[in-house]
Amino acid sequence: MFVSSYFTNYSSKSIFWFSLISLISFQLKAQNVVIPIETDKHILLLQTDEDNRLMTTYFGARLNTSGEYSEAQEMFQFDDSNAGIYNCAYTPAGTWNLSEPAIQVVHADGNPSLELVYDSHKTADESDGNATLTSIVLKDPVYPFQVTLFYRAWKRENVIEQWTEITHNEKKPVVLKKFASANLYFARKDVYLTSYHNRWAKEMQPTESKLVRGLHSLDSKLGTRAMLLQSPNFILSFGQPAAENEGSVILGQLAWSGNFKLEFEVDSYENLRFITGINPYASEYELKPGEVFQTPKLIYAISDHGTGEASRNLHSWARKYQVLDGEGERLTLLNNWEATYFDFNEEKLTALFKDASDLGVDLFLLDDGWFGNKYPRNGDNAGLGDWQENKKKLPHGIGYLVKEAEKAGVKFGIWLEPEMVNPKSELYEKHLDWVIRQPERPEVYFRNQLVLDLSNPEVQDFVFDIVDNLFTENPDLAFIKWDCNAVIYNAYSEYLHKQGIPQSHIYIEYVNGLYNILERIRAKYPKVPMMLCSGGGGRGDYELLKYFTEFWPSDDTEPIERIFMQWDYSYFFPAIVTDNHVTDWGKQPLKFRTDVASMGKLGFDIVAGHLSEKDLQFCKEAVSNYHSFKDVVWHGDLYRLVNPHENDMASLMYVKGDKTRAIVFNYLVNNRQLLITNEQPVKLAGLDPGKKYRIREINLYPETKSTINSNKTYSGDFLMKVGFNPDVSLRRTSVVLEVTEVN
Ligand code: GLA
CB of 84 closer than 6 angstroms to any ligand 1 atom:
no
Give the Å distance between the CA of 483 and the centre of ligand 1.
7
Q: How far is CA 122 from CA 29, 350, 393, in A?
A: 20, 59, 60
- Specify burial of residue 439 (Cβ count, 10 A radius: 0-12, 13-18, 19+): exposed
Residues 6+ apart with CB under 8 A from 518: 544, 546, 547
Q: How far is the CA of 482 from the centre of ligand 1 (A)?
A: 10
Signed CA dihedral, 558, 561, 566, 567: sign only: positive
DSSP character for 30? P
| DSSP element (H, E) containing 275 | strand 272-278
Q: In the chain, where are the structural domains located?
A: 2-322, 333-419+459-486+527-635, 637-741
Helix-helix angle 457-473:506-524, to 10 degrees: 30
Query: Is 555 close to ligand 1, i.e. is its CB under 6 Å away?
Result: yes
CATH 3.20.20.70 fits 333-419+459-486+527-635, yes or no: yes
646 DSSP 8-state letter: T
Nearest Cα neighbor of 384 from 445, 460, 471, 340 is 445
Nearest-atom number in ligand 1 for the CA of 555 is 8
Residue 639, ligand 1, Cβ within 6 A:
no
Q: Is 540 helix (H, G, I), strand (E, B) or coil?
A: coil
What span, in angstroms and rounded, lies between the C-alpha atoms of 376 and 384?
A: 9
Nearest CA to ligand 1 atom 3: 535
536 lines ligand 1 (CB under 6 A): yes
- Is any ligand 1 atom within 6 A of the Cβ of residue 603? no
First to last CA, the chain: 67
Residue with the smallest CA separation from ligand 1 atom 11 is 535
pLDDT in the model for residue 31: 74
DSSP state string for 678-741: --SPBPP-SS-TTSEEEEEEESPPTT---SS-TT-EEEHHHHHHT-B----BSS--EEEEEEEE
Ligand 1 midpoint to CA 707 (Å): 40
pLDDT value of residue 107: 98
Query: What is the three-class DSSP state of 534?
Result: strand
Q: The CATH number of 2-322 is which of 3.30.750.210, 3.40.50.300, 2.70.98.60, 3.30.360.10?
A: 2.70.98.60
3-state helix, strand, coil in the chain (%, to 5): 25, 30, 45
Sign of CA dihedral 490, 495, 499, 504: negative
Q: 500 CB contacts (<8 Å, ≥6 apart)? A: none
Query: For ligand 1, is residue 203 a contact (CB within 6 Å)?
Result: no
pLDDT of 98 reads: 86
**What are the DSSP calls for 335-394, one per residue?**
E-HHHHTT---HHHHHHHHHHHHHHT-SEEEE-S-SB-SSS--SSTTS-TT--SB-TTT-
Concatenate the DSSP letters of all residues of 76-136 into one string: ----STTTTTTTBSS-BSSSS--S--SEEEE-TTS------EEEEEEEEEEGGGTEEEEEE
d(CA 733, CA 716): 25
Ligand 1 lined by 368 (C-beta under 6 Å) = yes
Instruction: Please write down the HEC assignment for all residues of 544-601.
Output: HHHCCCEECCCCCCCHHHHHHHHHHHCCCCCHHHEEEEECCCCCCCHHHHHHHHCCCE
| Mean pLDDT of each 10-residue bin along the chain, 743 residues long | 29 41 47 94 95 94 92 77 77 92 98 98 98 98 98 98 98 98 95 97 97 97 97 98 98 98 94 97 98 98 98 98 98 96 97 97 98 98 98 98 98 98 98 98 98 98 98 98 98 98 98 98 98 96 98 97 98 98 96 98 95 98 98 98 95 98 96 68 98 98 97 98 95 96 96
CA of 416 to the centre of ligand 1 (A): 10
Residue 603, classed as helix, strand or coil, is: strand
What are residue 415's DSSP bridge partners?
Answer: 481
DSSP for 145-190, please give it.
Answer: EEEEEEEEEETTTTEEEEEEEEEE--SSPEEEEEEEEEEEEE--SS
Query: Ligand 1 atom 1: the closest Cα is on which residue?
Result: 535
376/564 Cα distance (integer angstroms) = 38
Contacts of 64 (CB under 8 A, 6+ apart): none
- Ligand 1 pocket member 579 (CB < 6 A): no
- 552 CA to centre of ligand 1 in angstroms: 10
* Rounded distance from Cα 534 to ligand 1 centre (Å): 8
- Whether 365 lines ligand 1, by a CB cut-off of 6 Å, is no
Nearest to 678 by CA among 724, 721, 714: 724
Measured in degrees and rounded to the nearest 5, phi and psi for residue 79 equal -115, 15
Other CB atoms within 10 A of residue 32 CB: 13
Q: Which of 121, 37, 117 is nearest to 298 (CA)?
A: 37
Q: Whose CA is nearest to atom 6 of ligand 1?
A: 368
**DSSP class of 213:** B
What distance lies between CA 587 and its chain's CA centroid?
30
Give yes or no for residue 417 CB within 6 A of ligand 1.
no
Would residue 237 be called left, alpha or beta, if left means φ above 0 and alpha means ψ between -120 and 50 degrees? Answer: beta
Fold type of domain 637-741:
Immunoglobulin-like (2.60.40)
CB-ligand 1 contact for 367 (6 Å cutoff): yes
Residue 209: which H helix or E strand, with range?
strand 205-210
Distance CA 564, CA 198 (A): 13
Atom 7 in ligand 1: residue holding the nearest Cα: 535
* Per-residue confidence (pLDDT) for residue 671, from 0 to 100: 72
Please tell me whether the overall predicted TM-score, pTM, comes out greater than 0.85 for this model. Answer: yes
